[in-house]
Structure 1
Amino acid sequence: MELSLRERQKERRRTEIYQAAIALFKECGFDNTTASEIAEASGVSRGTFFNYYPYKEAVLLDYGSAVVQRLQAEAEVQLAAGKAPLEALYDVWNLLADENTRERDLFPPLAYEVMNPNPERAGAAYRALQLSRVVEVILTPVQQAGELRSDLSLARISNLIADTYLLVALRWSAYGTGRSLHDELRLSLDLLLSGALKR
């Protein structure tokens, strides 16, 4: 269905606000950027900013959602091309590590939203960041081949893998470790898969 002119204008304005906000977050840091500065940079009033994004962190949910959508598209392309599912999962994890390494300062406030004590905000973050769905898409053929444990559901295994990614990447982004994020994520995925696959 084609969008009306008004809807297209709203989408364009949201995109402009989003792009201005992300540029400021990268230039000045998330914590140092105010809603007023985002509004000014995108040529709208502060009130208009809040019409599109009810709180500053909501901008990051759009960013995270776009990353997850790209990952799912990549996973589906790889699986359709015949790549082994576990290889595709490691490839997706490497793409995540690339993104988090490149945008290291954006990740902690994004991850904290998933754990926000406000249930509405935590719910919005969970719905925006459906990484477990990407994992489930990749592991579905593994389950169909009878290679996953049968005492845990595919959804539970996928959630555990996605949740572990979140915590490992958050710890690395906020505090750093002696290893690269690629190595940290590969190590955690190795460990999780060793418990999820049938022996």
Structure 2
Amino acid sequence: MEPITLRERQKERRRNRIYAVAIDLFKRNGFQQTTATDIAKGAHVSRGTFFNYYPYKEAVLLDYGAELVDTLADQAERHLQNGVTPEQVLQDTFKQLAAFCIKDRDLFPPLAYEVLNPDPERARTAYQALPLSKVIEMCLRPLKDQNRLREDLSLERMCNLIADTFLMVALRWSAYNSEGDLEQELKKSLSLMLEGVFRR
């Protein structure tokens, strides 16, 4: 593997600085109220430089969401290796997703809307950046191998349906200022989905 050049290190540091400033501004001032100019000014770069690293403001949130999904994947893999049941790992994953949505309630809708973006390229980029269905697949794969899941749906489709359920329940909760208990809502939704994918 070739060593990282000084220029590449500088670019990485600049991107990290832009990212950190953007997330801080989003949390302090609100996503909609924060402009690319605000972020560029806070990161001490030009507005054009910001767009060199992030083609649109929502792309910063994709990095933010990707960090969460990576953490969930690492934790799920570790817990499964330690003998925690797949069902429990899934429940823990949804509990952590609920905590994320509650903590960053104002950031979740614009992040979720990217997955639903009418621009197919942006929607595809968001879907690839936030592979929650892959974390769910990690949990369901052992159940599939044990022949405990129904056979008329592919594993991929089951995982996508469960991921989509999380997305819509959490989006409805965060976007419409619901005062309900999101953790309980997600727990019920996951239970319902799991009932639907198990063999009868």
TM-score where L is the length of structure 1: 0.98
The residue aligned with 1:114 is 115
- Give yes or no for the alignment of 1:88 onto 2:86: no
Tell me which moved more, 74-83 or 169-178. Answer: 169-178
* Aligned-partner residue type, residue 83 of structure 2: G
1:18 is matched with 19
C-alpha distance in 2, partners of 1:120/1:151?
30
Partner of 2:133: 132
Number of the residue aligned with 1:75: 76
Q: What is the aligned partner in structure 2 of residue 191 from structure 1?
A: 192
Cα shift readout 1:67-124 (whole Å, capped 9, x = no counterpart): 1000000100100111000000000110111111101100000001111111111111
Matched residues in 1 for 2:5 and 2:67: separation? 23
| Gap regions ≥5 residues in structure 2 | none
Find the residue that maps to 1:62 and give its secondary structure: helix
Q: Distance in 1 between matches of 2:43 and 2:52?
A: 14
Deviation of residue 25 (structure 1)? 0.2
Output the amino acid matched with 1:16: R
Q: Distance in 2 between matches of 1:176 and 1:10?
A: 39
Q: Give the letter aligned to residue 36 of structure 1.
A: T
Q: Deviations over 1:11-31 (max 9, x none)?
A: 111110000000000000000
Matched ranges for 1:103-182 at <5 A = 103-182=104-183
Give, in angstroms, the shift of residue 176 of structure 1.
Answer: 3.4
Aligned partner of 2:40 in structure 1 is: 39
Gaps of 5+ in 1: none
Once the two structures are TM-superposed, the CA of residue 5 in structure 1 deviates from its matched residue by 1.7
RMSD value, Cα: 0.9
The aligned residue for residue 100 of structure 1 is 101
TM-score scaled by length of structure 2 = 0.97
**Would you say how many aligned residue pairs link Structure 1 and Structure 2?**
199
Which amino acid in the other structure matches residue 56 of structure 2?
Y
Q: Deviations over 1:166-191 (max 9, x none)?
A: 01100001113352110110011011
Bigger shift: residues 21-30 or 172-181? 172-181
Name the stretch that deviates more: 176-185 or 112-121: 176-185
- Within 2, Cα distance between the matches of 1:181 and 1:18? 28
Cα distance in 1 between the residues matched to 2:191 and 2:179: 18
In the other structure, the counterpart of 1:50 is 51
* 2: CA distance, partners of 1:145 / 1:10: 47
CA distance in 1, matches of 2:99, 2:79: 18
Residue type matched to 1:87 in 2? Q
Amino acid at match of 1:145: Q
Q: Give the drift of 1:4.
A: 1.9
